[in-house]
């Protein structure tokens, strides 16, 4: 099985909504982020990808973990994700290969979400961030 390795960012707004993006030609919304370049550390990748995809400088606040899930758009692939909690320096705007961006509630049902978002990110946010509010 082929493996795709990415860095993915958890971005929340003041209303505790999660930022998700949909790339052109796909139907699934996912975390902002992308594939690691050769010899690039995941914490470098996430900052670069956020700048490329949503035109923001990002501050990595916490390494959440390394997770393995199904991919959203590539059948017969395994996704390895390095997930980070990040803070943006400004409001995001669509750039590069991003077709659509939205803020979703953590119990969102009307949006097709990537396995990483539903299996890892949303449960982590509910357990670790909302518990502190």
Q: pLDDT tens across 93-102, in order?
A: 999 999 999 9
Assigned token pair, 59: 């501050």
pLDDT beyond 60 at 91: yes
Per residue in 61-74, pLDDT (tens digit) is 999 999 999 999 88
Task: Place domain 2-132 in its CATH homologous superfamily.
Answer: Nucleoside Triphosphate Pyrophosphohydrolase (3.90.79.10)
Per-residue confidence (pLDDT) for residue 132, from 0 to 100: 57
Per residue in 11-49, pLDDT (tens digit) is 999 999 999 999 999 999 999 999 999 999 999 999 999
């Amino acid at each position: 099985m082929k493996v795709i390795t990415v860095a993915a960012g958890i971005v929340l707004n003041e209303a505790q909504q999660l930022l998700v993006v949909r790339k052109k030609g796909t139907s699934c919304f996912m975390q902002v982020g992308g594939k690691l370049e050769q010899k690039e550390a995941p914490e470098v990748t996430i900052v670069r990808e956020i700048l490329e995809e949503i035109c923001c400088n990002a501050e990595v606040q916490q390494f959440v973990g390394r997770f393995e899930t199904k991919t959203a758009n590539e059948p017969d692939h395994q996704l390895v994700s390095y997930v980070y909690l990040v803070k943006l320096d400004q409001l995001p705007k669509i750039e590069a290969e991003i077709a659509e961006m939205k803020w979703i509630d953590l119990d969102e049902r009307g949006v097709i979400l990537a396995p990483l978002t539903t299996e890892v990110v949303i449960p982590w946010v509910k357990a670790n961030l909302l518990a502190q509010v």
